[in-house]
Amino acid sequence: MQTLLLTRSEVAQLLDPMALLPELRKAFENYSRERTGPAQKVRALLPAPGNAHILVPGLAPGIPAYSVKVNAKYPNERPAIRGILHLHDLQTGTLLALMDATYITAARTGLTGVLATDLLARKDARSVAIIGAGVQGEFHLRYLALLRSLQRASVYDIVPERAAAFAVRMSSELRFPVVAHESLQVAVKDADIIITATWAEKSFLIPEMAKKGTHLTTVGPDEPGKCEIDASLIKQSLFVCDDRELAVQIGAIGGAGLGPEAIHAELGEVLAGTKLGRTHPEQITIFGSVGLPFQDLVAAWQVYRAAQEKNIGRRLDFLD
């Protein structure tokens, strides 16, 4: 059996974000409704400058395959997350494909973030603040623009030059102005939506920075010791996560020193209608994501099928 090999550029060519969005939605609903076991993330420390090595197995109903992603994080590199995704046949264990995991991770994280943002943000929300001018900030803004008629965006990064380059790049790509700010407070002022995607280990968003009716999506906290939103702001908000247990163990809730009582619902529950999301326009809502294995599988399966249909990629028999 030959294994399909796909590079980052080929994965980017094959992945269709708007087609993947409903598949992710269905997978989140299934996960919260029919979960047969906990999400699994295995983390091991690496010597500096790398900070984590993660093996993530993914399963999803209706997909006859499973995925295992091997990732390492190097915050000073671009891209900062590097790795390979293995796609295996669920019945035989045959290695169906090896593909770049950096684009898969960025795309599925961005799509999940904007799926939750579109679900929880006010329908008239038109302005967004991006905190962290990296890959995730870029993917979230790009995908959100596909779902919402945005009028303007601001961006802040602890490295001002990075924010300035982000603003120039995204302004030329999108049909609305993107402005860089050297002040976090100025960047988030009057924003209807705030998206944080940083490596922060201490909270930097406090209640005074979020006006009534704001929605916040925080994707930075995905391992112990990371935090972006202060506990006091979480407490006065409606908090939705991708996985309750992981949100406490390694996500925004645990990072802020809070427990499961701070969680209103999982994303899948709100999508399925078993839990309410936003109930009034002045409510502050937060989505906290740690990233779940089945997201990788759903995205990889779409890419694998598209590669077969279009005859893209190379093949290698590892048992030869």
Give the active site residues. Answer: 222
**Cα 17 to Cα 259: distance, rounded to the nearest angstrom:** 34
**HEC per residue, 161-201:** HHHHHHHHHHHHHCCCCEEECCCHHHHHCCCCEEEECCCCC
Q: Is 114 left (phi over 0), alpha (psi -120 to 50) or beta?
A: alpha
Q: List, in sequence order, the alpha helices (H) in the chain.
A: 8-14, 17-34, 101-120, 135-147, 160-173, 184-188, 231-235, 244-249, 252-255, 267-272, 293-310
